[in-house]
Amino acid sequence: MDMEDWEQRHTEAFYNAKEALPYLDGMFVAYNSNIDAIRHLTEEDVTKLVGFFDEAEIQERVAVYPREIAEPMDFLARLLISMREGKAGEVPAYTEETHKWLKEHLGFDYARMGGQAGIISNLLAQLGLKKIVTYIPWLSEEQAEYFVNTGNILHPKVENGKVVLKAPAEAFNPGFGSKVNWIFEYSKDLNVTCAGGNFKVPRDNRLIISSRPKWIRLDMDRLVYEQLDSIFPVDGAMLSGYQMIKEEYEDGSTYKDYVEHSVEVIKKLKSLNPELRIHVELTSIQNRLIRKTLLTDIVAGNVHSLGLDTVEVANALNVLGYEELSYSVIRKGENGIMSLYQGAVQLMKDLRLERVHVHSLGFYICILAKGHPLTLKEQRDALLFSSVLAAAKALKGDIENFAEAEEGLRVPVSAKGLEDLENFKLYCTGRKLCSPDEFEYGYIYGPDHDAILIPTKVVDKPIATVGIGDTISAGAFAAMLARMKQIRSGK
Ligand code: ADP
């Protein structure tokens, strides 16, 4: 594959998408958002934190190894464990107590929008889409402040029994608390003294306290559901956050209730606009039952498009019964990309999808069902556009407007990505999935599917990596829908 060709194709695709995006009426985005509060810890901070507690009690708590953060002491214990080993950790907190304590006793350096639906809404708004209708079932006043103020994000609000669309800052529920995830970063060589002991942090890393308030439900307000026509016109829906569904709730409800409601929402969206396309963005889900149910009961046969990274391809294959293929994807190695490709095709077939977009560092693979709505060149353009967005996001941390997205064009195509794809060429041509020429264009014509393979732009020293996956999926999906709309309008 030729590097120069791919640079040129990126540029052309970016400007094609720029022209097409104004044709979109809008996008519906649900369900998850939270606030990420980031604090970089210094030696003084740690000394101060230790000073709030009795050192013997801290030691005891460290020995207990708390698996959830029920009170501030649990946090300190897990922080010390994480720092001692230089190992990343993520621990859930089911109450707000520690959040309040941290706000008062430590504070954060900065906070940003977190959660897939939150990140995707802000991105599409900053790219200038006409309308983004976001639905966050637990939208609080504090959370609403993290939506960008571009005027094109609207949120359903029930007023006197009627659903109206308002800016998030006017649509929140005053009774709701916030879902705040704390991210504590620390650096190598930091000295920690506690309970007479002393250690040096072996490497940079972080501890995350993920907030799981008990009141969180992945669900849609009944009135919003009944008046769902109020969100239209929209051309697509991007749904995420299903990992929040729990097997059982204290009030006796179970995951089955929430799965059923989620599917009703999808069916209603499609009935209100049969042309509407629906994308689900996957993330890692520890609970195998929930992971499997999401795939077989919510995604399969109901939605059109799935976005995920390579680890999630492996995890999905695993619960669908393809264990060997799943291990082969995880192991990477020589057959890694072949397995990834086969795995993505399997997902397309088993889940009856029109499109499976897999992003990896340096290349993307998109499997398309026969009969998908665009040419392979147009599908490729949508992916290349998202590669530019990913580069801009890695470069700048946030893409505030289209001009900033354009800066992604300066980032070179990954040589490693090109090499990985080159190694895949023999597999494709040997199985007659494409000719060597077609491969150069990134086009594959399988017996029961088509596919696009592109090398992507990768930033050497990214200033941020959080949310790049969401950016890629949202950018490509929006660009694809925009091109479909543009064609329909005769352009
Ligand atoms: P997240 O959920 O935080 O977005 P994912 O694993 O879903 O994480 O997505 C990360 C994706 O971001 C990778 O698959 C890769 O395509 C892209 N990416 C990561 N680092 C860079 C970088 N430095 N430059 C460009 N793209 C990157």
Nearest CA, atom 23, ligand 1: 459
**Contact call for residues 421 and 455 (beta carbons, < 8 A):** yes
What whole-number distance in Å separates Cα of residue 401 and Cα of residue 275? 28
**Contact call for residues 329 and 345 (beta carbons, < 8 A):** no
Please tell me whether the peptide bond between 31 and the residue prior to it is cis, using omega within 30 degrees of 0. yes
How many whole angstroms from 361 Cα to the centroid of ligand 1? 6
pLDDT at 14: 98
Q: 172: part of which helix (H) or strand (E)?
A: none
128-155 pLDDT per residue, tens: 999 999 999 999 999 999 999 999 999 9
CATH 3.40.1190.20 spans which residues of the chain?
3-36+113-176+214-488
- Pocket probe for ligand 1: among 119, 453, 468, the residue whose CB has the most ligand atoms within 8 Å is 468
In the structure encoding, which two tokens stand for residue 202, read together?
């072996």
Is the CB–ligand 1 distance for residue 468 below 6 Å? yes
| Atom number in ligand 1 closest to CA 467 | 4
What is 417-456 written as a DSSP string? Answer: HHHHHHHHHHHHHHTTSS-HHHHHHTEEE-SSEEEEEEE-
How many whole angstroms from 393 Cα to the centroid of ligand 1? 9
Nearest CA, atom 8, ligand 1: 469
* Beta strands 180-186 and 34-40, pairing class: parallel
Specify the residue for token string 């693979």: 365
Q: Name the H helices within 86-228.
A: 97-105, 116-126, 141-144, 168-171, 222-226
What whole-number distance in Å separates Cα of residue 205 and Cα of residue 186? 6
Average pLDDT score, the chain: 95
Is the CB–ligand 1 distance for residue 358 below 6 Å? no
**Contact call for residues 297 and 288 (beta carbons, < 8 A):** no
Return the beta strands (E) in 104-187 as ranges. Answer: 110-114, 132-135, 153-159, 162-166, 180-186
CATH 3.30.1110.20 spans which residues of the chain?
37-112+177-211
| Atom number in ligand 1 closest to CA 468 | 4
What residues are annotated to the active site? 470
Is the CB–ligand 1 distance for residue 115 below 6 Å? no
pLDDT in single tens digits along all 491 residues of the chain: 799 999 999 999 999 999 999 999 999 999 999 999 999 999 999 999 999 999 999 999 999 999 999 999 999 999 999 999 998 888 989 888 898 999 999 999 999 999 999 999 999 999 999 999 999 999 999 999 999 999 999 999 999 999 999 999 999 999 998 899 999 999 999 999 987 679 999 998 899 999 988 889 999 999 999 999 999 999 999 999 999 999 999 999 999 999 999 999 999 999 999 999 999 999 988 899 999 999 999 999 999 999 999 999 999 999 999 999 999 999 876 678 999 999 999 999 999 999 999 999 999 999 999 999 999 999 999 999 999 999 999 999 999 999 999 999 999 999 999 999 998 998 899 888 899 999 999 999 988 999 999 999 999 989 877 899 999 999 999 999 999 999 999 87
pLDDT at 334: 67
- For residue 417, the Cα-to-chain-centroid distance in whole angstroms is 21
What whole-number distance in Å separates Cα of residue 22 and Cα of residue 190? 50
Is the CB–ligand 1 distance for residue 343 below 6 Å? no
Specify the residue for token string 């990477």: 332
Determine the 3-state secondary structure of 181 from DSSP. Answer: strand
Nearest CA, atom 7, ligand 1: 469
CATH code: domain 37-112+177-211 is: 3.30.1110.20
Is the CB–ligand 1 distance for residue 116 below 6 Å? no
Is the CB–ligand 1 distance for residue 359 below 6 Å? yes
In the structure encoding, which two tokens stand for residue 101, read together?
């304590």
* Beta strands 236-240 and 27-31, pairing class: parallel
Position 223, amino acid: L
What whole-number distance in Å separates Cα of residue 168 and Cα of residue 158? 13
Determine the 3-state secondary structure of 50 from DSSP. Answer: helix
Q: 5: part of which helix (H) or strand (E)?
A: helix 3-20
Nearest CA, atom 25, ligand 1: 458
pLDDT at 95: 85
| Atom number in ligand 1 closest to CA 308 | 7
Q: 383: part of which helix (H) or strand (E)?
A: helix 376-396
Give the single-character DSSP code of 140. -
Is the CB–ligand 1 distance for residue 464 below 6 Å? no
**Contact call for residues 329 and 302 (beta carbons, < 8 A):** no
**Contact call for residues 99 and 71 (beta carbons, < 8 A):** no
Q: Does domain 3-36+113-176+214-488 have CATH number 2.60.120.560?
A: no
Is the CB–ligand 1 distance for residue 281 below 6 Å? no
What whole-number distance in Å separates Cα of residue 11 and Cα of residue 475? 15
